[in-house]
Structure 1
Amino acid sequence: MKDECCLCGRVLPYGYLRRCQRCGRLYCIDCMIADVSTNDFTRMFCLNCARRSVSPKSGSKYDALSRHLKFRSAFTDTVRLSFSQIDGIISDNLPMSAYRTESWWNNTPTNVHAKGWLDAGWTVQEANLKDGYIIFKKSKVVKAKSFRKRTSHNEIKPFTPVRVRMPKSNRPSKTKVSKLFARLKNLERQRASTPVYPGSFKPKPKHERRLFKSEKKPQ
């Protein structure tokens, strides 16, 4: 006996398939992982259920389908998606009623799942439950929301002059000027305190004065 993996779509013998402990559907070994919270290898989850348990998302899970259809609207007018592809887009499994009844795929704006493709500007053209695929058709062009504030043509905006930056002056600050004047005053006082000798006579430095005393003369 053979069966199909609900995630990758491969047809394998029944012995190579395992049943997810959360959603109860059959998956191949490559599309399953042990329980990430307890690392219990006896409890196997599919990748969609494991992803949802690790990083739960707020809001509707069909928002990802809406974003996917908005992206495809720039290239084509019709999109064919299988059930396994839709499961991968929404990172979750579709309910069992989506596989059994065609009324689940009706374009009813009150349904949460139908708003996923209606808000993106798409409608369901064909729902083939036997072969397991859905054909979406673009009904209108949805523009991206702009957050710019709209202004009417009659509204007159007040004149706002452009701010002009004044160039910085190269004049020194008052602190630098005061320090310079203080240094000049100190130099003048130092020059006034030193005695001035006539001619080319220069006083002896201090280390020469210590060699000989004033009352003794060298022999």
Structure 2
Amino acid sequence: MSPIRPIGRRTNAAPSIDCTSTCRPNAVSGRSQSRAGEVSKYDPLRDYLRRRTGEVRCTFDQVSDLVPGGLPPSAYRYEAWWANSDRTHPQSRSWGDAGFTAHPDLARGLVRFVPKEGLL
């Protein structure tokens, strides 16, 4: 049975990279280990982004499919959930540790993960 996902806007716009192609959680725990030994449900997203170069575009639903249990409803509603500067939140650490910043478009249900060195 697939997890219940929060209600959010879906889009038919194709991302530049298929976010669901290779990232899978740890088969035993459903999560992967972080470098400090801590486990975060966002580790599969971090691991996915670490294998990418350049900008990665995903729908919120594609990101949700990477995260065990899916994204919380607040990810679909609030830009603050995607904040890059708040390292106290595990989702922000996940893309930050992978070398990316997140740039959501709530109206379209999309997020761009931009390499940190690509920002001017």
Same fold (TM > 0.5): yes
Say if 2:5 and 2:71, in contact at 8 Å, map to a contact too: no
- 2:30 aligns with 57
- CA displacement, residues 45-92 of structure 1 (integer Å, 9 cap, x when unaligned): xxxxxxx9x95435211110111111012xxx2110111111221233
Q: Residue 112 in 1 paired to residue 51 in 2?
A: no
Task: Give ranges in structure 2 of 5+ residues lacking alignment.
Answer: 8-24, 32-38
Quick one: percent identity of the two aligned structures?
Answer: 33
Q: List 4+ stretches of structure 1 deviating above 6 A.
A: none
Deviation of 1:130 after TM superposition, in Å, equals: 1.2
User: Which of the numbers 103, 106, 113 marks the counterpart of 1:129?
Assistant: 106
- 1:71 aligns with 51
Counterpart amino acid of 2:52? R
- 2:77 aligns with 100
SS in 2 for 1:72: coil
Tell me which of the two structures has the higher relative contact order, counting C-alpha pairs closer than 8 angstroms and 6 or more residues apart. 2
Please tell me whether Structure 1 or Structure 2 has the larger radius of gyration of its CA atoms.
1
Say if 2:5 and 2:70, in contact at 8 Å, map to a contact too: no
Task: Give ranges in structure 1 of 5+ residues lacking alignment.
Answer: 1-6, 8-19, 27-51, 141-219
Q: Relative to 1, partners in 2 of residues 1:131 and 1:119: Cα closer, same or farther, differing over 3 Å?
A: same
Aligned residues: 91
Q: RMSD value over aligned CA atoms?
A: 2.7
Counterpart amino acid of 2:111? I
Say if 2:105 and 2:111, in contact at 8 Å, map to a contact too: yes
